[in-house]
């Protein structure tokens, strides 16, 4: 299975691009917008091949020489650019401008894909805008972004937007099963945390830290509600010592408390189930709802770069008051 059919769950995006290929009305710039890990990059690869495919129909054929070169990553007219470190720098865009105005080597189009385009600095974004305003007719830009709202409106207005939606959890679960990644219960947890992102779910299955974090989150909630201050301190200390993802730790806490809340209200066990350790907590639905709000407040402070140890201590004290 090749071409656009290789992109799972994004039939709408595929249909838009196939229609452009069939009509010959190719925009000079596209914005592929959507969450990380839902197929934007794969679709960009397919579209870039299709734009330079030698076949007369059903492009990309994935058999002709241009397609084979693209598949092997050595097509001279298909360029991929990534941020230099944490952002796209002005120097990268200036180099891009020199590349844009060079002749097409052997394909129909020079295709330039910018990953994480929203990470462009203000200077780089302004310079990119000038390139998008007067692009050579043979050049097609594809901007990939999970945060398109942070791009300048002037850039957005010069791109044809193609939206990519979160994938259905059942589809993600089936892909993980087919690839024989982990145990069924681990796959269920990974899917519930992935937020419709196949790429993120696969990362979770390949990096067992996500399951370590879930267990730490269970123990932290237990320690808070049981007023076990020493255990709570040791868990906080272990997060920093083991360099675990604090943001994902909060996600686990929210997921766990939400599932307990659903269980208390007779709405099932939620997507990831209720661990026995938390099932036995004596808090009623109202108290669990308050606990959820405590963690949500903590998530907001964590996004604002609050001190992790201090933040978890505050959350721990507030949760202990509910017990």
Whether the predicted pLDDT of 187 surpasses 60: yes
Whether the per-residue pLDDT at 276 is higher than 80: the answer is: no
pLDDT-derived band at 303 (thresholds 50, 70, 90) equals confident
Residue 153, CB half-sphere, CA atoms under 13 Å: how many?
A: 0
More confident residue, 274 or 258: 258
Decide which of 278 and 305 is more confident. 305
DSSP result, 122-191: HHHHHHHHHHHHS--TTEEEEEEES-GGGS-HHHHTTSEEEE-PPPPHHHHHHHHHHTT-S-HHHHHHHH
For residue 40, the SS3 value is helix
* pLDDT at residue 306, rounded to an integer: 78
Q: Is the dihedral of CA 271, 276, 277, 281 positive or negative?
A: positive
**Mean pLDDT value of segment 250-255:** 87
Distance (Å, whole) CA 17 – CA 26: 9
**CB distance 270 to 258 below 8 Å:** yes
Q: 216 in helix, strand or coil?
A: helix
**pLDDT grade for 103, boundaries at 50, 70 and 90:** confident
* C-alpha–C-alpha distance, residues 6 and 35, integer Å: 18
Q: Is the pLDDT of residue 277 over 80?
A: no
- Whole-number pLDDT of residue 266: 65
Q: What is the pLDDT of residue 96?
A: 85
Confidence of residue 302 (pLDDT cuts 50, 70, 90): confident
> Reduced to 3 states, what is the DSSP secondary structure of residue 113?
strand
Checking if the pLDDT of 283 tops 70, the result is: yes
pLDDT at 48 over 60: yes
What mean pLDDT is predicted for residues 124-147?
A: 88
CB atoms inside a 10 Å sphere around CB 301: 14
Buried b vs exposed e over 202-227: b needs ≥16 C-beta within 10 Å?
Answer: bebbeeeebbebbebbbbbbbbbbee
pLDDT of residue 261 exceeding 90: no
More confident: 29 or 96: 29
Query: Over 80: is that where the pLDDT of 240 sits?
Result: no
Residue 141 has pLDDT above 70, yes or no: yes
Per-residue pLDDT band at 273 (split at 50, 70, 90): low
pLDDT at 68: 95
Q: For 147-182, what is each residue's pLDDT tens digit?
A: 899 899 999 999 999 999 999 999 999 999 999 988
Rg (CA), the chain: 24
The DSSP bridge partners found for residue 142 are 30, 113
pLDDT score of 105: 83
Rounded Cα–Cα distance for residues 49 and 138 (Å)? 14
Band (31; pLDDT cuts 50, 70, 90): very high
Mean pLDDT, residues 54-68:
92
Assess contact for 271 and 278: CB atoms under 8 A: no
Q: How many CB atoms lie within 10 A of CB 284?
A: 10
The secondary structure of residue 32, as a DSSP letter, is E
pTM metric for this prediction: 0.78
Binned at pLDDT 50, 70 and 90, residue 279 comes out as low
Residue 49: predicted pLDDT = 95
């Amino acid at each position: 299975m090749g071409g656009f059919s290789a992109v799972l769950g994004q039939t709408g995006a595929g249909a838009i691009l196939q229609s452009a290929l069939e009509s010959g009305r190719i925009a000079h710039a596209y914005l592929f917008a959507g969450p990380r890990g839902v197929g934007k990059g794969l679709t960009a690869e397919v579209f870039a091949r299709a734009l330079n495919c030698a076949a007369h129909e059903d492009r990309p054929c994935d058999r002709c020489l241009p397609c084979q070169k693209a598949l092997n990553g050595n097509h001279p007219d298909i360029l991929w650019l990534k941020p230099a470190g944490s952002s796209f720098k002005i120097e990268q865009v200036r180099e891009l401008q020199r590349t844009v105005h060079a002749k097409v080597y052997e394909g129909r189009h020079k295709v330039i894909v910018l990953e994480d385009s929203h990470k462009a600095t203000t200077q780089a974004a302004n310079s990119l805008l000038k390139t998008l305003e007067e692009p050579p007719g043979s050049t097609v830009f594809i901007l990939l972004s999970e945060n398109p709202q942070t791009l300048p409106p002037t850039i957005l207005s010069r791109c044809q937007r193609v939206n990519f939606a979160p994938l259905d959890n059942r589809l993600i679960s089936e892909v993980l099963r087919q690839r024989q990644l982990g145990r069924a219960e681990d796959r269920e947890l990974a899917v519930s945390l992935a937020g419709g992102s196949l790429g993120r779910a696969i990362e979770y299955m390949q990096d067992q830290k996500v399951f370590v974090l879930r267990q730490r989150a269970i123990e932290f909630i237990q320690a808070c509600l049981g007023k076990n201050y020493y255990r709570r301190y040791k868990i906080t200390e272990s997060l920093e010592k083991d360099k675990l993802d604090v943001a994902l730790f909060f996600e686990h806490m929210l997921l766990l408390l939400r599932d307990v809340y659903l269980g208390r209200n007779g709405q099932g066990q939620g997507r990831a189930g209720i661990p026995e350790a938390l099932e036995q907590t004596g808090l009623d639905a109202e108290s669990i709802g308050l606990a959820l709000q405590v963690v949500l407040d903590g998530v907001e402070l964590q996004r604002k770069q609050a001190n992790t140890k201090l933040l978890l201590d505050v959350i721990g004290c507030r949760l202990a008051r509910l017990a």
